[in-house]
Structure 1
Amino acid sequence: MPFGCLTPGEKKDYNNPSEVTDKYDLGQIVKSEEFCEIFRAKDKNTLKMFTCKKFLKKDGRKVRKAAKNEILILKMVKHHNILQLVDVFETRKEYFLFLELATGREVFDWILDQGYYSERDTSNVVRQVLEAVAYLHSQRIVHRNLKLENLVYFNRLKHSKIVISDFHLAKLENGLIKDPCGTPEYLAPEVVGRQRYGRPVDCWAIGVIMYILLSGNPPFYDDMEDDDYDNHDKNLFRKILSGDYEFDSPYWDDISDSAKSLVAGLMEVEQDQRLTAQEAINHEWISGNAASNKNIRDGVCGQIEKNFAKAKWKKAVRVTTMMKRLRAPEQSDSLASSPVPGASTGPFTPSITPVPPADASEVTAASTEALVMLQVPDSQSAPGTIVPDSPADVTETRQELSKHPHKHRRIRMARQTCTHMHAHAHARANTPCEYAAGMMIRNLLNAPPSILQRYCSITS
């Protein structure tokens, strides 16, 4: 398996692009994600199909870092409930990752197609996820982005296994982690509260997944109007911080007490009291016969269809993107004057972790405000804030975008976004808006218009 320069200490030895095309037939793009493009690929010798993820180095340091990180993690893991890395190539311009191809459906789609669905079906899904996560945690790996969209059936056979995908946010736990990332509705309180965190965040996310699979509802939501995005975010994060969820009627009336106890154990606000993955596997609802066999399909499917139609809680954006524009108000002055020694200063990571107030209600308020304040681009800002692309990057982005005329509407919306951000910068806006436009276009081009509207308060 050619790994180019990916092994520490090895001399850089790039693959020739022809090595990729000599071995694999790459089909059309199946999906474009923030960091990569995804293809179906066929091995020319065996005719076996794979998934190919292509990362373009020219797209920036963050893309290169994401590719290297995913390769590092996937080379370490081998588990039947995790999509396996099969082949890797690094050319001078790209990374190519070839993984097992999962041809089954997402868990939600599978549920909607069932005539009969019970707690035992959910228990089977959750057990497989827990086993994979327990394995990852035994290797000191934190996935950090567990969500229903990353759980798929490996094939379309009746008893297909569940596999976990998407490891570009996974991280080796060498000490506690502080950079916030993940998907907002699955975030653990310690991430929302900007505390240091570790493997328990994955167990919290599994609790959220289990809650949704048993009720069809997300555990944390509010009834704000669709255009009241700021209050929606504040309420969401406030509820997560306080663990403010309920087993509300009628959705939980037919769910066993054993299932509820496992959800509560996984969604314990205090991370040191939260169930571990192995402890959850040993729970009677997973390893015993406590899971009910009563049909709950109609109630669950009705709520799934309702919530997916509203799409209030399912957002196609990671909180890393959001966090780049959100910061704690108490950091504004301290960052400019005295960065904390040894703290990370990368664009993904806040350079300090705020000291929370002593009172619990103040913790909630301060942490919520930390997550909803707009981060403004500023080339003169202290470490930890956002620095836009260089003029050369903007030119390169323009050239790339000129090849995709169908994306002009998103380009326009991204420019509106930049204008909005520039207007809020006031005297701090020393960076030409055009540079910010280049950065925002690159980061937001693949985001749905609803995301731009939600986080930047613009209308199309």
Structure 2
Amino acid sequence: MPFGCLALWERRHCSSLSDVTDKYDIGHTLRVKEFCELCLAKERETGKVFFCKKFLKKDGRKVRKAAKNEIMILKMVNHPNILQLIHTFETRKEYFIIQELATGGDVFDWILDQGNYTERDASCVIRQVLEAVAYLHSLCIVHRNLKLESLMYYTENNHNKVVLRDFYLSRYENDGITEPCGTPEYLAPEVVARHRYGRPVDCWAIGVIMYILLSGNPPFYDDAEEDNTDQHNRIIFCRIVAGEFEFDSPYWDDISPAAKELVCRLMEVDPMLRITAQDALWHDWIAGQGASEKNLKDGVCAQFKKNFAKAKWRKAIQVTTFMQRLRAPESNGALGGVVTARNTMGVSHRVTIENQARDGKKVEERAENGETGKAGESHNTQTHTHTHTR
């Protein structure tokens, strides 16, 4: 079904709730997310247990649109690293999406439970994410909400298979997307700058995930302790648009040059120069011997617990609403004007990186407008910064 035909859904015949409950025993709500409730659904005929998302129509147009988007996307895709669609129902009050059940838990939690965790483990995760995203991109589908929390292991007994979930924000690319959405720390510069965007935003998000998997730290962060979400996001957005991130010591001291290079290529500010998911699959860190076997467990897990315990990292915000506030006249301070004053996604740029990922030396950067900066106070770091000026 074409993505522009959402209105057709309103004229579809609706199932009754008994149609759902006659086939599935719907369990109690396990978790409430931004758009839906999560629960288990047991097929009465076979006893098989599936994953169920319930979207309540009364929660508004955005929820209804999210449900329709996810159903349309899942009907189009068939890939081993994407949770497959089993059944859908639309009643007068709800949408039900029945999917395969992944029982292996979040990748995040698995890492915390391991006695040994290496770059090779991280490479295995990223490779499977790249394979799924390359497949989506071949269909001109943009996921738009890739993050560490979107990744799960398929079974608890075999942690070799990673699956993607949560397609309610996914879109067909068409001539470019303008609506900002997603999780702030994972947004690509072109989304923050309110430009038309497409598939490269997913590759940026994979770069952010890879950075976190290797260090336990987010690449773009705010050191402030106060829980001011708007101020936090302004600081994050400034650093994203400038492409400011560091390979901080000691967290990156033992990380391989190949890993650093792939991070830099995935988090390239210019989407035209950013590596694609398909090309990234051929990178030495993914396909070759570039990933180190050194145990990273202690350092990564310590930073995981420190950073991801923060409520502001767990919060999902309405990015569109926040960006509207950000563009308001009263917000046009040094940080508030990030979307307008720092709308810097032009083509006139020159950045020199002295093979920072290959020889381990500190990155040297030169930009035509002289804008440089650090994402935070640190020492003995390798800094990667792209600054683009119009």
Provide the C-alpha distance between the structure 2 equivalents of 1:26 and 1:152, rounded to a whole number of angstroms. Answer: 22
Whether the aligned pair in 1 keeps the contact of 2:51 and 2:99 (CA below 8 Å) is yes
Structure 2 residue 242 is matched with structure 1 residue 281: no
Task: Assess, with a 3 A threshold, how the Cα gap between structure 1 residues 45 and 285 changes in structure 2: closer, same or farther.
Answer: same
Could you tell which deviates more after superposition, 11-20 or 131-140?
11-20
CA distance in 2, matches of 1:230, 1:16: 42
- Which whole-Å CA distance do the structure 1 matches of 2:90 and 2:185 have between them? 35
1:16 paired residue number: 16
Measured after TM superposition, the shift of residue 303 of structure 1 is 0.8
Name the amino acid aligned to 2:277. Answer: A
Report how far residue 227 of structure 1 moved. 4.2
Unaligned 5+ segments in structure 1 are 333-352, 366-460
Alignment of 1:238-387 (within 5 A): 238-323=238-323, 325-329=325-329, 356=343
Q: For 1:375-397, what per-residue CA distance to the aligned partner results, in whole angstroms no more than 9, with x for missing partners?
A: xxxxxxxxxxxxxxxxxxxxxxx
Matched AA of 2:95: Y
Q: Is the 8 A contact 1:41 1:52 kept in 2?
A: yes
Tell me the amino acid that sits aligned with residue 135 of structure 1: Y
Given residue 131 of structure 1, which amino acid in structure 2 is its aligned partner?
A: E
Please state how far the C-alpha of 1:311 moved relative to its aligned partner. Answer: 4.1
Secondary structure of the 1:65 match is: helix
Structure number with the bigger relative contact order (C-alpha 8 A, sep ≥ 6) is: 2
Structure 1 residues 229 and 101 mapped into 2: Cα distance closer, same or farther (>3 Å)? closer
> 1:9 Cα deviation (Å)?
9.3
Residues 1:77 and 2:69 aligned together: no
Q: Contact conserved, 1:56 with 1:93, CA < 8 A, in 2?
A: yes
Deviation at 1:39, TM superposition (A): 1.4
CA distance in 1, matches of 2:277, 2:270: 15
Q: Which letter maps to 2:138?
A: S
Structure 1 segment 52-451 matched on structure 2, within 5 A: 52-227=52-227, 229-323=229-323, 325-329=325-329, 356=343
Map Cα deviations across residues 371-424 of structure 1 (whole Å, 9 max, x no partner): xxxxxxxxxxxxxxxxxxxxxxxxxxxxxxxxxxxxxxxxxxxxxxxxxxxxxx
- Counterpart contact for 1:331–1:354, Cα < 8 Å: no
Distance 1:201 1:21, change over 3 A: same
Change (3 A) 1:211 1:40: same
Greater Cα offset, 105-114 or 319-328: 319-328
Letter in 2 for 1:290: G
Structure 1 counterpart SS, 2:309: helix
Q: Does the Cα contact within 8 Å between 1:102 and 1:152 map onto a contact in 2?
A: yes
Q: Give the match for residue 363 of structure 2.
A: none
Name the counterpart of 1:445: none
Residue 290 of structure 1 and its aligned partner are, at CA, apart by 1.1
Give the Cα–Cα distance (whole angstroms) in 2 for the partners of residues 7 and 46 of structure 1: 35
**Percent same amino acid among aligned pairs?**
64
Letter in 1 for 2:292: S
Query: What is the alpha-carbon distance in structure 2 between the residues aligned to residue 209 and residue 145 of structure 1?
Result: 12
> Highest Rg: 1 or 2?
1
Unpaired stretches in structure 2, ≥5 consecutive residues:
333-339, 350-366, 372-390
1:383 corresponding residue in structure 2: none
User: Are the structure 2 counterparts of residues 150 and 131 from structure 1 closer, same or farther at C-alpha, using a change threshold of 3 Å?
Assistant: same
294-303 or 131-140: bigger deviation: 294-303
Distance in 2, Cα, partners of 1:217 & 1:9: 42
Looking at structure 2, the residues matched to 302 and 15 of structure 1 have their Cα atoms a distance apart, in angstroms, of 49
**Deviation digits for residues 211-251 of structure 1, max 9, x if unmatched?**
00000000011322324555433221111011110111110
Per the alignment, residue 336 of structure 1 pairs with none
What is the Cα deviation at residue 354 of structure 1? 9.9
Q: Aligned to 1:40, what secondary structure does the other structure show?
A: strand
What letter matches 2:43 in structure 1? D
- 8 Å CA contact retained: 2:104, 2:159: no
Give the letter for the 1:250 counterpart.
Answer: P
Equivalent position of 1:28 in the other structure: 28
Check conservation: 2:214, 2:300, Cα contact below 8 A. Answer: yes
Cα distance change, pair 103–83 in 1 and its aligned pair in 2 (3 A): same
**1:150 shift after superposition:** 0.7
- Give the deviation of 1:6 after TM superposition: 8.0
